[in-house]
Amino acid sequence: MSQADTSTWRELLDETTERLGDRNEARWMCEEASGLDGGEFLDELDQPATQRMGLALQSMVGRRLAGEPLQYVLGHWPFRRVDLLVDRRVLIPRPETELVAGEALGIALAAHGGRGGRTIRIVDLGTGSGAIGLAIANELPHTGVEVWITDASADALDVARANIPGIGRNAANVRVALGEWCAALPDELRGRFDVVVSNPPYVAVDDATLDESVRDHEPHSALFSANDGLADIFAIAAQARDWLADNGRLILEIGHRQGAAVRAELERLGYVNVEVKVDLAGHDRIAVAVKVANA
Ligand SMILES: C[S@@+](CC[C@H](N)C(=O)[O-])C[C@H]1O[C@@H](n2cnc3c(N)ncnc32)[C@H](O)[C@@H]1O
């Protein structure tokens, strides 16, 4: 590695694989350091890396070996059709959250189909990197759509803002607001959202099963919530009633042991058609509920 200016990418890939013990991670880091991806990188395997590229690779390998998550080391990660910048200011977007975004997208598309010329409005509360909101804005039609993304963390919103241009011309439909859950939104939008979606913090503060790498590296304000992890879910459920239009949908990512408690709370709050859906592992993961008038 110290002779990076004379090593070929093939040599660096082999050496990195040996150090990390993982060929895929080594390949992704080499691609990142070289600025090439996929077939382009393979075409350059027998070309020497520049010293600057070798140093960039060395720095990434050092961070990874020190335990930093791969996604932060690479600095970006795919979420549905968007490549998101990610760093320690935001939660790493998870595959199960892609399902949450997909659920919200399906509902938003149906609302768009029946909108009769009006603009449909969606909010992603606690957007972090922008994952859910930007994926939805990206996959919805360009016209007749407004997607709000909010967070209480100004740092997280800086990352989300940096990701907005990544969705191309649909970036024009995105609005950003800083603040605590629904209080971030402009008052005149009360009762005017078709979809409120959120992946809030839902890990219990004393959860001993939480992966050490998650606890050590990801923002605690994105992970932990009081009341066995339910406090923020319940707060959003209570607030969203005032912000959803009649027949609007609330979609929440939840912890795999929280299905029954969340269902009971949503019904208590007056939502109807409450459903708890499972993720690819068969765990309770998504709560969906409909707001009706006076709920
Ligand atoms: C689990 S992370 C989800 C991030 C992103 N939506 C995703 O799915 O990858 C929860 C997010 O909620 C934000 N958050 C925590 N408490 C909040 C609050 N009271 N009001 C608004 N956002 C909050 C955190 O800053 C964090 O970005």
Residue-wise pLDDT for 54-99, tens only, equals: 999 999 999 999 999 999 999 999 999 999 999 999 999 999 999 9
CA of 154 to the centre of ligand 1 (A): 11
Tokens 């009971």 found at: 264
- Number of Cα atoms under 13 Å in the Cβ half of residue 227: 10
Shortest-distance Cα residue to atom 13 of ligand 1? 126
The three-state secondary structure class of 73 is helix
199 within ligand 1 shell (Cβ under 6 A): yes
Q: Which long-range contacts (C-beta less than 8 Å, at least 24 apart) are formed by 19-23?
A: 19/61, 19/65, 20/61, 20/64, 20/65
Tokens 């993961």 found at: 285
Q: Which atom of ligand 1 is nearest to the CA of 223?
A: 1
Per-residue pLDDT tens over the stretch 274-294 = 999 999 999 999 999 999 986
Residues 77-290: name the CATH superfamily: Vaccinia Virus protein VP39 (3.40.50.150)
Shortest-distance Cα residue to atom 9 of ligand 1? 93
Instruction: Indicate the pLDDT class of residue 8, thresholds 50, 70 and 90.
Output: very high
Shortest-distance Cα residue to atom 24 of ligand 1? 222
Nearest CA to 136 out of 75, 79, 193, 77 is that of 79
CA of 116 to the centre of ligand 1 (A): 33
CA of 230 to the centre of ligand 1 (A): 14
| Amino acid found at 113 | G
The pLDDT value given to residue 5: 59
H helices, E strands: number in the chain: 12, 11
Q: What is the mean pLDDT of residues 182-205?
A: 98
Residue-wise burial string across 146-156, b where 16 or more C-beta atoms lie within 10 A, e elsewhere: bbbbbbebeeb
182 within ligand 1 shell (Cβ under 6 A): no
CA of 186 to the centre of ligand 1 (A): 19
152 within ligand 1 shell (Cβ under 6 A): yes
CA of 171 to the centre of ligand 1 (A): 21
The CA-to-CA distance between both ends of the chain, in Å, stands at: 63
The pLDDT value given to residue 294: 67
CA of 197 to the centre of ligand 1 (A): 11
Query: Which pTM was predicted?
Result: 0.96
Domain map of the chain by residue range? 9-66, 77-290
Per-residue pLDDT tens over the stretch 203-217 = 999 999 999 999 999
133 within ligand 1 shell (Cβ under 6 A): no
Residues 274/267, Cβ–Cβ less than 8 Å = yes
The three-state secondary structure class of 108 is helix
